[in-house]
Amino acid sequence: MAITTTKSAFWKGFRDSAPFLFMASPFGFLFGVLAAEAGLIVPEAFAFSLTVFAGAAQFTALQLMQENAPLIIILISALAVNLRMAMYSASLTPYLGDAPMWQRAIAAYFIVDQSYALSVVQFEQEPEMPLAQRVAYFFGTNGLITPAWVMATALGALVGTRIPESWGVDFVLPLAFLAMIGPMLRTPAHVAACFVAVAASLPASALPYNLGLIVAGIAGMVAGAQAELWLERQKAKAEGAK
C-alpha cells in the first residue's frame, strides 16, 4: 500500500513494527522479572524502562547494580553497550536531520534496533518520501513497541517474585542476547568485531565491576573498524587493477 499522507506513513510504520512485539514483550517481561528479583519495586522497574528505554543497557545496569558497582561504572558500561545508537543516529541524519529540533530530540529517545532497521529500509526503498512522512513513519514504528516494552516490564516486575527460582528465568537473558547477535553479523567487519570481543572478554572477565564488558566492547569496535578499513583498501586496489 502506497504512502500518500503523513497519517498513512505513521500507520504503515505502526503495522510494520507489529512482528517485533514477539521479541520486545517477552524481553521486557524478563527485565521486569529480574528487576523484581534485584529488589526493585514495580514503580521503579516501570520508571527504569520508561526513562532509559534501552534493553541491553538496562540489563547491564541492573546486573552492575546487583554487584554494588560504583555509579560511574554503571553509567559508562550502559553507555558502552548502547554506543551503537550513536551510529544509528548518524545513519538516520540524512533522512530526519532537517526536522525541527523538538522532533529530533524526541526521535533520539525512540531510536531502538527495531525502529532504526524498519526506518532505514523504508527510507531507502522510497527516497522521495517527504520529510513529514519520514518523521511520521519513524514514530509509527514505535507506536506498538514502546508501550509493549514498558507495560511488559511492569507486568514482569509485578509477578517476578512469584516465579520459582527452579525455572531458571535468568538463563533466558544470555540466550536472548545470542539471538540478537546472530542477525547482526552481516559483514566480515561485523564478524571480526564479534570474535575479537568474545576473545577479549574471556581474560577480561576477571576484572571487577564487569569492566571486562567495556574492555571487550572497545576491542571489538577497534577490530571492526580496522577490518572495515582493510576491506576498503582491498576493494580500492582491486578497482585500481582493472
- Per-residue pLDDT band for 214 (boundaries 50, 70, 90) equals confident
Structural domain boundaries in the chain = 6-182, 185-242
How far apart, in whole angstroms, are the C-alpha atoms of residue 212 and residue 113? 24
- Amino acid type, 237: K
How far apart, in whole angstroms, are the C-alpha atoms of residue 172 and residue 164? 14
User: For residue 219, what are the CA distances in angstroms to 75, 87, 118, 191, 231?
Assistant: 19, 17, 29, 13, 18
DSSP string, 53-67: --HHHHHHHHHHHHT
Instruction: Convert the pLDDT of each residue in 162-187 to its tens digit.
Output: 766 666 666 666 665 666 566 667 77
Instruction: Convert the pLDDT of each residue in 41-82 to its tens digit.
Output: 888 888 888 888 887 788 888 878 877 888 888 888 788 778
How far separated are the first and last CA of the chain, in Å rounded?
A: 43
How far apart, in whole angstroms, are the C-alpha atoms of residue 224 and residue 156? 36
How far apart, in whole angstroms, are the C-alpha atoms of residue 200 and residue 218? 9
pLDDT at 170: 62
Q: Does residue 19 surpass a pLDDT of 90?
A: no
Q: What is the pTM of this model?
A: 0.72
Residues 127-156, mean pLDDT to the nearest whole number: 92
